[in-house]
């Protein structure tokens, strides 16, 4: 399993992630598939600007430009992992509970075939069912959550317990996260109240605010995360609003003062050595993007994550 050549890709005109083979999940993944990219076109959990449901198609298009050899880590993650585009999760987009059920079942199917799931959202509410499936497979997880926001809100804000501001709260309360193993990076900006940090703090969550990344560097922060995680299985949830709107304008709830795209890519790459068991990139909203900057960044974040997973598999 390898990337198609640019000519092959141009000839048929379809747009699988990274020019990878299309292998719709419903038909069963090919034997030996080590990573499956799954689109999750849902933005019914957004509280402000929608549009993230369109991201799987735009990220597919932008990702066709990403070539296979990772020059810094010295491997081709696509062939090392026999990666495929497993299509999109299918659901009625107006029934959030059904959406969560479909995502959990799809991620469970990827895991059952022995592949690492890489989800392309969708808004951040898609992460909870993904974490449920991955924790059911691997046990309580270490979670690296890169985001401008804590995403530990409760139902008091919108009268609904499940939206894109709540996935990490459920993950903590449902014990999908191992004790003290929620690592939040890139957090910044105003909170609803001083108590917003208490949910994570009660569970020992570690917050690396954006100033810390700027002052110490992404590699130092990643080193802290790596040493805290050790051999635990790690799930990486990357909300592109962690990145400054100057670099990633295509997102629903932008917050100024974020990571540069360079810092974001380094942060993921610096996880090399960790046991990565799942990843998502969420909150890309193509209608607000400019010149594909955000979709292209999302593709490269996935490339870095795939390389980390390929290294973990080679160990």
**Cα 210 from chain centroid?**
18
Nearer to Mn ion, 3 or 152 (CB): 152
Cβ count within 10 A of residue 257: 14
Min dist CB 24 to Mn ion, Å, is 28
Min dist CB 280 to Mn ion, Å, is 10
Region near Mn ion per CB under 5 A, out of 81-89, 107-115, 146-154, 263-271? 146-154
Beta-bridged to residue 36, according to DSSP, are 84, 117
Nearer to Mn ion, 151 or 280 (CB): 151
Q: Tell me whether residue 249 is exposed, middle or buried, using C-beta atoms within 10 angstroms of its C-beta: 0 to 12, 13 to 18, 19 or more.
A: middle
Min dist CB 188 to Mn ion, Å, is 12
Min dist CB 151 to Mn ion, Å, is 4
Question: Closest by alpha carbon to 271, among 299, 314, 306?
Answer: 306
x-or-dash string of contact with Mn ion, 148-187, rule CB under 5 A: ---x------------------------------------
Contact 43, 123 (CB under 8 A): yes
x-or-dash string of contact with Mn ion, 106-125, rule CB under 5 A: ------------------x-
Nearer to Mn ion, 124 or 300 (CB): 124
The per-type count for the chain, helices as H runs and strands as E runs, is: 11, 8
Question: Closest by alpha carbon to 282, among 311, 253, 256?
Answer: 253
- Which of 104, 239, 289, 304 is close enough to bind Mn ion by CB under 5 A? 239
Token pair in block for residue 160:
């609904």
Which residues contact Mn ion (rule: CB under 5 A)? 124, 147, 151, 239
């Amino acid at each position: 399993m390898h990337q198609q050549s640019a000519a092959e890709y141009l000839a048929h005109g379809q747009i699988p992630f990274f020019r990878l083979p299309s292998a719709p999940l419903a038909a069963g993944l090919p034997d030996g598939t080590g990573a499956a990219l799954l689109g999750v076109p849902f933005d019914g959990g957004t509280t402000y600007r929608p549009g993230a449901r369109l991201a799987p198609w735009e990220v597919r298009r932008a990702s066709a430009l990403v070539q296979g050899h990772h020059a810094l880590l010295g491997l081709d993650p696509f062939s090392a992992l026999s990666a495929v585009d497993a299509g999109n999760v299918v659901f009625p987009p107006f029934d959030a509970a059904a959406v969560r059920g479909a995502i959990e079942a799809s991620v469970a199917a990827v895991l059952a075939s022995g592949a690492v799931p890489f989800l392309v959202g969708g808004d951040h509410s898609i992460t909870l069912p993904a974490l449920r499936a991955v924790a059911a497979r691997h046990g309580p997880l270490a979670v690296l959550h890169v985001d401008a926001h804590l995403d530990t809100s409760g139902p008091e804000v919108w009268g609904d317990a499940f939206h894109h501001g709540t996935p990490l709260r459920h993950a903590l309360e449902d014990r999908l996260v191992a004790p003290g193993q929620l690592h939040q990076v890139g957090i910044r900006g105003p909170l609803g109240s001083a108590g917003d940090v208490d949910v994570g703090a009660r569970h020992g969550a570690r917050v690396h605010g954006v100033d810390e990344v700027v002052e110490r560097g992404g590699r130092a922060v990643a080193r802290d995360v790596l040493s805290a995680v050790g051999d635990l299985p790690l799930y990486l949830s990357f909300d592109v609003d962690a990145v400054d709107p100057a670099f990633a304008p295509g997102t629903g709830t932008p917050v100024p003062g974020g990571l540069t795209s360079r810092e974001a890519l380094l942060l993921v790459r610096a996880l090399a050595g960790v046991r990565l068991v799942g990843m998502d990139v969420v909150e890309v909203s193509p209608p607000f993007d400019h010149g594909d900057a955000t979709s292209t960044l999302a593709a490269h974040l996935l490339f870095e994550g795939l390389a980390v997973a390929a290294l973990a598999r080679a160990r």
